Structure 1
Amino acid sequence: MLIEGEAGIGKTRLLREFLASQAERGRHALVGACLELRVPYTLGAVVDAVRDGVDNVAALRLSGLAGALRPLFPEWADDLPAAPEALEDATAARHRLFRAFVEVLGRLDVAVLALEDVHWADEATLEFLLFLVSRRPQPVSVVLTFRRDEVPSGSPLLRLSSRLPSDARPVRLTPGPLDVGETASFISSMLAGGHVSNEFAAFLHARTAGVPLAVEESVRLMHDRADLIRRDGGWARRRLDRIEVPPTIRDAMLERVQRLGPDTRTVLYAAAVLSGPADHATLLAVTGLPQERFAGQSAEALGSGLLREDKSGQWSFRHPLACYAVYDAIPAGDRRAMHLRAGRTLQRWPVPPVAQLARHFRLAGDAEAACRYTEEAADLCLQSGDVATSALLIHSLVATVPLPAGVLVRLVTKIQFQALSGSDPYSAVIASLRSALAGQVLTPVEQASVRFQIGRVLMVAGEIEAGRGEILTAIAHLPPGSAEQARARVLLALPLGNARPVREHLRWLEEAPPPARSMASLDRLHLSVERAFALLMLGEEAGWAAAREIPDDVPEPRAASIVAIGHTNVGEEATRWGRYEEARARLAKARALAERHQLLDYLDSIASSQAHLDWFTGAWSGLAEQTARLLDDDSGVRLKDRCEAALVAGLLQAACGDREVAEERLAFAGRDDQQRIEAVAALAQLCLRDGDVDEALRLTDQLAETAVGGGPWSRAVEFAPVRTAALAAAGRLGAAAEVVNALDGALGDRDAPAAQASLVLCRAILAEADGRRTDAAALFARAATAWEALPRPYDALLARERSARCLLAEGRDETALPALSDIARALSELGASRDADRILRFLAGKGFAVTRGRGRPGYGNRLSPRELEVARLLVEGLTNRQIADTLGVSVQTIASQVKSAMRKMDVTSRTALAVRVVESGLVGDLDQRPARDE
Structure 2
Amino acid sequence: MVGDRQAIPRSEISAPAFMGREREVAALGQALSQPPAVVLVEAEPGAGKSRLVQEFLAAPIGQRHRLLVAVCPPFREALTLGPIVDAVRQAREGVAGLPLTALAGALRPLLPEWADDLPPLPAPLDDAKAARHRLFRALAELIRAMGVTGVIVEDVHWADPVTMEFLLFLASHRASRQQAEPPSLLVTYRPADVPPGSLLLRLSSRLPVGTTQLRIGLAPLDVLQTAGMVSSMLGDEPVSMEFARFLHERTGGVPLAVEESVRLLRDRADLFRRNGEWVRRLLPDLQVSPTIRDSVLERVQRLTRPAQQVLQAAAVFAEPTPGDTVTVVAGVVGGPSRAVADPVPPAADPVSPASSEPMSAAISEAVASGLLREDERLRLTFRHAFMSQVVYEAIPGAERRRLHRLAGEQLERLDPPPVVALTRHFREANQVEKWSHFAEQAAERAVAGGDHTTATALLTELLHAADQLPPETQLRLARRLATIALGRREQVDELHQRVVAVLRRVVETGSLNDREQAQLRNPLGRLLAQQGDLAAAQTELERAIPHLGQDTAEAGRVMTYLGWPWLGPWGAQAHREWLRRAAALDHSRLSPVERTSLQADRAVALLQLGDDEGWQVASALPAVSESDSPALRRQRCRACLNFGTAATLWGLYDRARRWLAEGMALADAEHYPRIRSKIAFGEVELAWLSGHWQELEPQLTAVAHDEDTEPLVALNAARLLGWWHTVDGSLRRGEEYFTAAMRDARHFGAIEDELDLAAGLGRLRLAEGRVGEALAVTAAPLAPVVSKQVWLFATALAPVRVAALTTAGKLNEAVELVTAYEQGVRERPVPASLAGLATCQALLAEGQGAPAAARYAAAAEAWQRLPRPYEVLLAQERQARCLFAEGAEQSGQELLTRVWQGLAELGARADEERVGRQLREYGVDVRRPWRGGRRGYGTQPSPRELEVIKLVLAGKTNREIAQVLHKSPRTVAGQLASVMRKLGVSSRTELAVRVVEEGLVAESEARPTG
Is 2:476 the counterpart of 1:432?
no
- Give SS of 1:198's match: strand
1:406 matched residue in structure 2: 475
Is 2:719 the counterpart of 1:675?
no
Structure 1 residue 829: Cα displacement: 2.5
1:317 matched residue in structure 2: 381
Task: Give the counterpart of 2:780 among 677, 685, 702.
Answer: 702
Give, as a single letter, the amino acid of the residue that structure 2 aligns with 1:656.
Answer: D
- Give SS of 2:719's match: helix
Distance 1:514 1:260, change over 3 A: farther
Give, as a single letter, the amino acid of the residue that structure 1 aligns with 2:571.
Answer: P
Contact persistence 2:940–2:983 (CA under 8 A): no
Task: Give the counterpart of 2:646 among 573, 578, 601.
Answer: 573
Task: Give the counterpart of 1:652 among 704, 707, 724.
Answer: 724
Distance in structure 1 (CA, Å) of the matches to 2:866 and 2:199: 78
1:453 matched residue in structure 2: 523
- Give SS of 1:289's match: coil
Task: Give the counterpart of 1:827 among 883, 897, 903.
Answer: 903
1:206 matched residue in structure 2: 48
| TM-score normalised according to structure 1 size | 0.61
| TM-score normalised according to structure 2 size | 0.57
Distance in structure 1 (CA, Å) of the matches to 2:330 and 2:659: 53
Contact persistence 1:365–1:401 (CA under 8 A): no
- Give SS of 2:200's match: strand
Distance in structure 2 (CA, Å) of the matches to 1:208 and 1:423: 44
Residues 519-560 of structure 1, C-alpha deviations (whole Å, 9 max, x = no match): 677766654443333222212223334445387799988888
Distance 1:830 1:367, change over 3 A: farther
Contact persistence 2:491–2:711 (CA under 8 A): no
Contact persistence 1:804–1:817 (CA under 8 A): yes
Residues 205-253 of structure 1, C-alpha deviations (whole Å, 9 max, x = no match): 734999xxxxx9984522369887356565999xxxxxxx994598677
Contact persistence 2:941–2:979 (CA under 8 A): no
Distance in structure 1 (CA, Å) of the matches to 2:921 and 2:351: 95
1:617 matched residue in structure 2: 690
1:415 matched residue in structure 2: 484
1:223 matched residue in structure 2: 194
Structure 1 residue 299: Cα displacement: 1.9
Residues 598-620 of structure 1, C-alpha deviations (whole Å, 9 max, x = no match): 76666775666555444322343
Contact persistence 2:492–2:530 (CA under 8 A): no
Residues 317-344 of structure 1, C-alpha deviations (whole Å, 9 max, x = no match): 3867599556666555545444444444
Distance 1:560 1:396, change over 3 A: farther
Task: Give the counterpart of 2:608 among 528, 537, 553.
Answer: 537
1:742 matched residue in structure 2: 820
Give, as a single letter, the amino acid of the residue that structure 2 aligns with 1:460.
Answer: Q
Give, as a single letter, the amino acid of the residue that structure 1 aligns with 2:878.
Answer: R
Residue range with higher mean Cα deviation, 838-847 or 482-491: 482-491
Distance 1:540 1:632, change over 3 A: same
Structure 1 residue 283: Cα displacement: 6.8
Give, as a single letter, the amino acid of the residue that structure 2 aligns with 1:221.
Answer: A
Distance in structure 2 (CA, Å) of the matches to 1:597 and 1:339: 44
- Give SS of 1:229's match: helix
Give, as a single letter, the amino acid of the residue that structure 2 aligns with 1:848.
Answer: V
Residue range with higher mean Cα deviation, 562-571 or 491-500: 562-571
Contact persistence 1:395–1:415 (CA under 8 A): no
1:799 matched residue in structure 2: 875
- Give SS of 1:829's match: helix
Distance 1:429 1:636, change over 3 A: farther
Distance in structure 1 (CA, Å) of the matches to 2:629 and 2:307: 49
- Give SS of 2:867's match: coil
Structure 1 residue 845: Cα displacement: 0.9
Q: What is the aligned-residue identity percentage? A: 29
Structure 1 residue 505: Cα displacement: 1.1
Distance in structure 2 (CA, Å) of the matches to 1:206 and 1:836: 56
Structure 1 residue 720: Cα displacement: 2.6
Give, as a single letter, the amino acid of the residue that structure 1 aligns with 2:483.
Answer: K
Give, as a single letter, the amino acid of the residue that structure 2 aligns with 1:500.
Answer: W
Is 2:977 the counterpart of 1:889?
yes
Task: Give the counterpart of 1:752 among 812, 816, 830.
Answer: 830
Is 2:562 the counterpart of 1:486?
no
Give, as a single letter, the amino acid of the residue that structure 2 aligns with 1:573.
Answer: A
Distance in structure 2 (CA, Å) of the matches to 1:794 and 1:389: 41
Structure 1: gaps (5+ residues) = 1-175, 185-194, 211-215, 238-244, 871-880, 899-909, 929-934
Distance 1:856 1:830, change over 3 A: farther
Task: Give the counterpart of 2:575 among 491, 494, 505.
Answer: 505
Contact persistence 1:708–1:715 (CA under 8 A): no
Contact persistence 1:831–1:855 (CA under 8 A): no
Distance in structure 1 (CA, Å) of the matches to 2:676 and 2:580: 33
Give, as a single letter, the amino acid of the residue that structure 1 aligns with 2:381.
Answer: F
Structure 1 residue 406: Cα displacement: 0.7
Contact persistence 2:728–2:908 (CA under 8 A): yes
Contact persistence 1:183–1:201 (CA under 8 A): no
| Pairs within 5 Å for 1:715-864 | 715-729=793-807, 736-748=814-826, 752-769=830-847, 773=851, 776-854=852-930
Question: Who wins on radius of gyration, i.e. which is larger?
Answer: 2
1:22 matched residue in structure 2: none
Structure 1 residue 510: Cα displacement: 1.9
Contact persistence 2:307–2:363 (CA under 8 A): no
Contact persistence 2:705–2:974 (CA under 8 A): no
Give, as a single letter, the amino acid of the residue that structure 1 aligns with 2:646.
Answer: E
Distance in structure 2 (CA, Å) of the matches to 1:746 and 1:807: 30
Structure 1 residue 865: Cα displacement: 8.2
Distance 1:524 1:439, change over 3 A: same
Give, as a single letter, the amino acid of the residue that structure 1 aligns with 2:503.
Answer: L
Distance in structure 1 (CA, Å) of the matches to 2:829 and 2:408: 61
Structure 1 residue 266: Cα displacement: 4.1
Distance 1:201 1:337, change over 3 A: closer
Residue range with higher mean Cα deviation, 439-448 or 296-305: 439-448
Give, as a single letter, the amino acid of the residue that structure 1 aligns with 2:689.
Answer: F
Residue range with higher mean Cα deviation, 545-554 or 822-831: 545-554
1:713 matched residue in structure 2: 791
Structure 1 residue 746: Cα displacement: 2.7
Structure 1 residue 844: Cα displacement: 0.8
| Pairs within 5 Å for 1:461-610 | 461-472=531-542, 474-475=544-545, 478=548, 480-496=550-566, 500-512=570-582, 514=585, 516=587, 527-547=598-618, 549=621, 566-584=639-657, 586=659, 609=682
1:213 matched residue in structure 2: none
Distance in structure 1 (CA, Å) of the matches to 2:641 and 2:427: 35
Structure 1 residue 824: Cα displacement: 0.9
Is 2:349 the counterpart of 1:273?
no
Residues 168-196 of structure 1, C-alpha deviations (whole Å, 9 max, x = no match): xxxxxxxx999549999xxxxxxxxxx99
- Give SS of 1:415's match: helix
Distance 1:464 1:480, change over 3 A: same
Structure 2: gaps (5+ residues) = 1-19, 29-35, 53-156, 158-187, 207-212, 215-253, 259-291, 332-348, 467-472, 746-750, 943-952, 955-971, 1004-1010
- Give SS of 1:200's match: strand
2:164 matched residue in structure 1: none
Relative contact order, higher structure (CA 8 A, sep 6+): 2
Contact persistence 2:705–2:973 (CA under 8 A): no
Distance in structure 1 (CA, Å) of the matches to 2:456 and 2:669: 22
- Give SS of 1:573's match: helix
Is 2:328 the counterpart of 1:284?
yes
User: Aligned pairs, how many?
Assistant: 685
Give, as a single letter, the amino acid of the residue that structure 2 aligns with 1:543.
Answer: G
Give, as a single letter, the amino acid of the residue that structure 2 aligns with 1:206.
Answer: G
Contact persistence 1:358–1:370 (CA under 8 A): yes
